[in-house]
Amino acid sequence: MTTTSPTTSPITLAAGVVTGKDYLALVKACKDGHYALPAVNVVGTNSINAVLEAAAKNKSDVIVQLSNGGAEFYAGKGFPDSFQAKVLGAVSAAHHVHMMAKHYGVCVVLHTDHANKKLIPWVEAMLDHGEAYYKEHGRPLFSSHMIDLSEEPLDANIAECARLLKRMAAIDMSIEIELGCTGGEEDGVGSDDIDNARLYTQPEDVLKAYETLAPIGHFSVAASFGNVHGVYAPGNVKLRPDILKNSQDLVQRVKGLGENPLDLVFHGGSGSDKGQIAETLGYGVFKMNIDTDTQFAFAKPIGDFVKANAQAFATQIDPESGKPFKKEYDPRTWLRVGEKGIVERLSEAFADLKSTGKSVARPE
C-alpha cells in the first residue's frame, strides 16, 4: 500500500484566535500530523507582531503566550500596581492578538505561562476578565492558562488544577499543568537545585492527573524529560524524549485509549538538540515553548545595528558631515531589525517542529 502524506490538513478553521472545540481540533491535527507549534513568550506588540508575521510567512499556526513578567512588562514597568499590571497587561495583549491575528491568516492559540502557588490569584483575576469576555462574545479571552504547582505535593497540585479547570471548562478554556519539574528558571519560577528523579515525569502521576482532570475538561501536561529553561553550555542538558512514551503508554493501556492519548508540552525548547525535538513529535508533543532563543534573536541584530551605527546612538547629527541621524535612531528602524530577527529564528522553529506549511486556517 502506498500512502501519500497530505500537504493540507484534513480540518480547516477560521483564521484568528482559536478556543474551545477549535483549539482541541488544532491540537489533534498537530498530534495526528506529528508536528508541534512553537509557543513564543511575548512582551509587547513588537514581539507579538513578529510572531504573527513569522507564522503567516511560514504558513504555520502558532501559540502566543505571556508569562506574568511579560504581562507586567506589556502593561508598563512604570504601572503603579505590579499585580494589576500582570492582569491588565495580559488582558491588553490578548485583545491585541484577537484584533490582529485573523488578519495574518493563521490560527493562533492564546496562552499564559507558569503560574505557581503565589500566582494563582493572577490566573483567577484573568479568569474574571475571561468570564466577562465570554458573556459578551460567547468565547473565552484566552485559549488556556498554565498552572505550575510542580513544587507542591502531587495531590495538592492535581486538586487545585481540578478546581481551576472547572472554572475554565465552563468558558471553553483548557488548562496546562506541570508534573515533574523543568530545570532552570523562568521569571523566578523553577530552580537549578532539584533532585534528578524529579526532572523526569512519573507515568503514575500522569495517570492520576488524567483520572481527575479528564472528566472535568481539557488539559495538557508540561512533561519533564530532562528539559531545562534557558540555554546552557552543551552537555548540561540530558534530554530523554522516550520518557514521554512511558506516560502515554500507561494512560493508553489503563484507560483503554488510542495511541498518544495525552497532549504533551515541551518546556525549555530553546537550545535543544534538533534530533531530540523531532523525536518528541512522535510522542504526542503538540507545543514547544521557546523564549530564550527568540529573546536573543531580537537582541542580536539590534546589537549589531547599534554597533554599526554607533554615532547615531550618541549624537542626533553627524559631527563630521552635519547629516541628521534621525533615520538610524528612529525606534521603528532598530525595533524592526529586532522583529526580523524573531521572524528568522521562528522560521527555523517551525521547520524543527515540522509545522511549516501546515496551518489549518481557511483561506479567506
Of the ranges 21-29, 53-61, 199-207, 263-271, which one interacts with Zn ion (CB under 5 A)? Answer: 263-271
Of the ranges 77-85, 137-145, 239-247, 259-267, which one interacts with Zn ion (CB under 5 A)? Answer: 259-267
CA–CA distance, 212 with 354 (Å, rounded to integer): 32
From 167, 267, 345, 358, residue interacting with Zn ion (rule: CB under 5 A): 267
**Which of 289, 355 has the CB closer to Zn ion?**
289
- Listed residue (271, 329, 330, 342) closest to 301, CA to CA: 342
**Which of 167, 267 has the CB closer to Zn ion?**
267
**Which of 148, 339 has the CB closer to Zn ion?**
148
Closest separation between CB of residue 190 and Zn ion, Å?
Answer: 7
Residues 289-328 as x/- pattern, contact with Zn ion by CB under 5 A: ----------------------------------------
- Listed residue (107, 110, 214) closest to 158, CA to CA: 214
Closest separation between CB of residue 327 and Zn ion, Å?
Answer: 39
Q: Are 346 and 40 in contact (CB under 8 A)?
A: yes
Reported as type and span, the H/E element at residue 273 is: none
Stretch 166-205 residues interacting with Zn ion (CB under 5 A): none
CA–CA distance, 28 with 35 (Å, rounded to integer): 10
- Listed residue (138, 141, 136) closest to 126, CA to CA: 141
**Which of 186, 328 has the CB closer to Zn ion?**
186
What φ, ψ does residue 175 adopt, rounded to 5°? Answer: -115, 145
**Which of 25, 222 has the CB closer to Zn ion?**
222
Closest separation between CB of residue 358 and Zn ion, Å?
Answer: 24
Q: Which residues are catalytic?
A: 113
What φ, ψ does residue 140 adopt, rounded to 5°? Answer: -80, 165
Q: Kindly report the CA angle at 213 between 211 and 215, in degrees rounded to 5? A: 80
Of the ranges 75-83, 127-135, 267-275, 306-314, which one interacts with Zn ion (CB under 5 A)? Answer: 267-275
Closest separation between CB of residue 265 and Zn ion, Å?
Answer: 8
Closest separation between CB of residue 345 and Zn ion, Å?
Answer: 18
Select the residue whose beta carbon is closest to Zn ion and give its number.
267
3-state secondary structure of 284: coil
DSSP label at residue 213: H
CA–CA distance, 116 with 137 (Å, rounded to integer): 29
Binding site for Zn ion (CB under 5 A): 267
